[in-house]
Amino acid sequence: MSGASFERGYNALKEQIDAPVAAFLSSCVHCGMCAEACLFFTETRDPKYTPIHKVAPLHKVWKQEYTFWGKLGKALGLSKPLTDQDLTDWETLVYDSCTMCGRCSMVCPVGNDIAYMIRKTREGMAAAGHAPEGLIGAARRSVTIGSPMGVKLPALQAQIRHMEKEFDIKIPVDVEGADYLCMLSSMEIMNFPEYIGSIARIFKQAGVSWTLSSEAFEATNSGIQIGVSDIAAVLVQRIVDAAEKLKVKAVISPECGHAYMAIRWEGPNLVGKQFGFKVVHILEVLDELRAEGKLKVRDKETQKLTYHDPCQIARRGGVLEQPRNLLNMVAENFVEMPGAGKMNWCCGAGGGVSSNERADELRLKTFARKKAQLDAINPDAVVSACSNCRIHLEEGLEEYHMDIPLLSLTETIAEHLIEK
């Protein structure tokens, strides 16, 4: 790594030390409670996976650049400066063993948001050239193609035609003045196109005015995952431009936890202005339709269903009651897994970890925590509302030889509609 690249990364880390980060770093009491909240630690018992340890490079920069004793120690040669090798050593911790699920932040006795600090650390890592190839490629494709998986408009159009034929329904695209602009993730387009058909069927029954955009249909934000705010801002701005062009009242984030966080909570800060439209998760929309009596369903599921709370939707987004309201509409035997809700355990694949092939072995090892949750209740099927969670849950269940189907909540609702 060149000296110039390291200097960029070092300066980027310095720039990330804002007032919240400085307060967090100075108030850590080194209690270790965050360790037991992180499935990468609990499933390996390796101290290096302690969440606060993962931000050590950021801590070193803060101490040496912004504290009296740190500056003095650095000047006298009593403390070693951060090196490029430090960043090399920490890269795998920052990108492979953290999904930024926020569970550690929930248990910190002094209120430190460790997930926020991981996000800041990634900014410096990426600037210094220390980021996984998988995330680098995803970010590059997002900027140049519009999708981290390289999905282009013709692929979406083909899936739309397929869904229109299968369900004998019209899927609107580029309709100006619709109430809702519905976003999608690449995984839904390519892996779970039934989601597109499901929202079309639900919205038809409920009389919802909605549209897709041919210019901005991708909700995933690889810029946030890799830690490059400039890229993240470009991807959010695409959505803003499409929403403003079509004059919609609200943008719907799809069944993707990371996308919801990126658009709703990070978005306005990234583009530097308030949105002129609302941002809502698909489950929030569906629950509003339920409350208004616009969802007509039949034939409840009799099998035992449980629900996996995606971290960014539930813990960091507050969408907790809506999925349960919806599940109780269509399930006679809905059972919560232990620890469900805002403290539910992460699936292990968020925050870009699933895009990082070198993390696969660790990712599947940590699935033992989810296995334990499921073993406690032995469900017939697992329902979730995040396509990334769904793919990883499927891989984890296969790895641990567990024959449990994975269901989309939106698709499950659609399957029980009383179609007009």
CATH number at residue 253: 1.20.1050
Pair 302, 392 in one domain: yes
Return the percentage of the chain with pLDDT > 70, whole number.
99
Pair 283, 395 in one domain: no
Pair 336, 250 in one domain: no
Whole-number average pLDDT of the chain:
93
Pair 249, 120 in one domain: no
Pair 234, 166 in one domain: yes
Q: Retrieve residue 11's tokens.
A: 């300066």
Which of the listed residues 75, 101, 131 is the one where a domain comes to its end? Answer: 131
Pair 282, 301 in one domain: no
Residue 280, strand partner residues: 252
| Tens digits of residue pLDDT in 40-97 | 999 999 999 999 999 999 999 999 999 988 888 888 888 888 888 888 999 999 999 9
Pair 234, 305 in one domain: no
Pair 310, 400 in one domain: yes
Beta-carbon contacts of 239 under 8 Å, excluding residues fewer than 6 positions away, are 181, 183, 216, 219, 251, 263, 267
Pair 275, 321 in one domain: no
Q: Structurally, how many domains does the chain consist of?
A: 3
Which of the listed residues 80, 102, 131 is the one where a domain comes to its end? Answer: 131
Beta-carbon contacts of 116 under 8 Å, excluding residues fewer than 6 positions away, are 20, 21, 24, 105
Query: Given a cut of 70, is residue 237 above it in pLDDT?
Result: yes
Query: Given a cut of 90, is residue 12 above it in pLDDT?
Result: no
Query: Given a cut of 80, is residue 3 above it in pLDDT?
Result: no
| Tens digits of residue pLDDT in 115-155 | 999 999 998 889 888 999 999 999 999 999 989 989 999 99
Q: Which residue has the tokens 């339920």?
A: 290
Return the percentage of the chain with pLDDT > 90, whole number.
81
SS in 3 state form for the chain?
CCHHHHHHHHHHHHHHCCHHHHHHHHHCCCCCHHHHCCHHHHCCCCHHHCHHHHHHHHHHHHHHHHCHHHHHHHHCCCCCCCCHHHHHHHHHHHHHCCCCCCHHHHHCCCCCCHHHHHHHHHHHHHHCCCCCHHHHHHHHHHHHCCCCCCCCHHHHHHHHHHHHHHHCCCCCECCCCCCEEECECHHHHHCCCHHHHHHHHHHHHHCCCEEECCCCCECCCHHHHHCCHHHHHHHHHHHHHHHHHHCCCEEEECCCHHHHHHHHHHHHHHHCCCCCCEEEEHHHHHHHHHHCCCCCECCCEEEEEEECCCHHHHCCCCCCHHHHHHHHHHEEEECCCCCCCCCCCCCCCCCCHHHCHHHHHHHHHHCHHHHHHHHCCCCCEEEECCHHHHHHHHHHHHHCCCCCCEEEHHHHHHHCECCC
Whether 275 is covered by a domain: the verdict is yes
Mean pLDDT lowest among 10-14, 246-250, 316-320, 334-338: 10-14
Domain span at 9: 3-131
Q: Which residue has the tokens 């920490």?
A: 90
Whole-angstrom CA distances from 187 to 153, 221, 259, 394, 407 are 14, 13, 12, 14, 14
Burial grade of 174 (CB within 10 A; 0-12, 13-18, 19 or more): middle
Whether 136 is covered by a domain: the verdict is no
Backbone angles phi, psi at 103, to 5 degrees: -65, -35
CATH number at residue 32: 1.10.1060
Pair 255, 169 in one domain: yes
Query: Given a cut of 60, is residue 2 above it in pLDDT?
Result: no
Q: Retrieve residue 37's tokens.
A: 């909240």
Average pLDDT, integer, range 13-30: 91
Whether 373 is covered by a domain: the verdict is yes
Q: How far apart are alpha carbons 260 and 22 in whole angstroms?
A: 27
pLDDT of residue 129: 87
Whether 376 is covered by a domain: the verdict is yes
Query: Given a cut of 80, is residue 372 above it in pLDDT?
Result: yes
Q: How far apart are alpha carbons 246 and 173 in whole angstroms?
A: 10
Is the separation of the CB atoms in 347 and 308 below 8 Å?
yes
Whether 137 is covered by a domain: the verdict is no
Whether 140 is covered by a domain: the verdict is no
Whether 141 is covered by a domain: the verdict is no
Q: How far apart are alpha carbons 145 and 204 in whole angstroms?
A: 31
CATH number at residue 347: 3.40.50
Which of the listed residues 131, 166, 191 is the one where a domain comes to its end? Answer: 131
Whether 139 is covered by a domain: the verdict is no
Distance of CA 210 to the CA centre of its chain: 24
Pair 285, 379 in one domain: no
Pair 210, 327 in one domain: no
Query: Given a cut of 70, is residue 420 above it in pLDDT?
Result: no
| Tens digits of residue pLDDT in 279-333 | 999 999 999 999 999 999 998 999 999 999 999 999 989 999 999 999 999 999 9
| Tens digits of residue pLDDT in 244-283 | 999 999 999 999 888 999 999 999 999 999 999 999 999 9
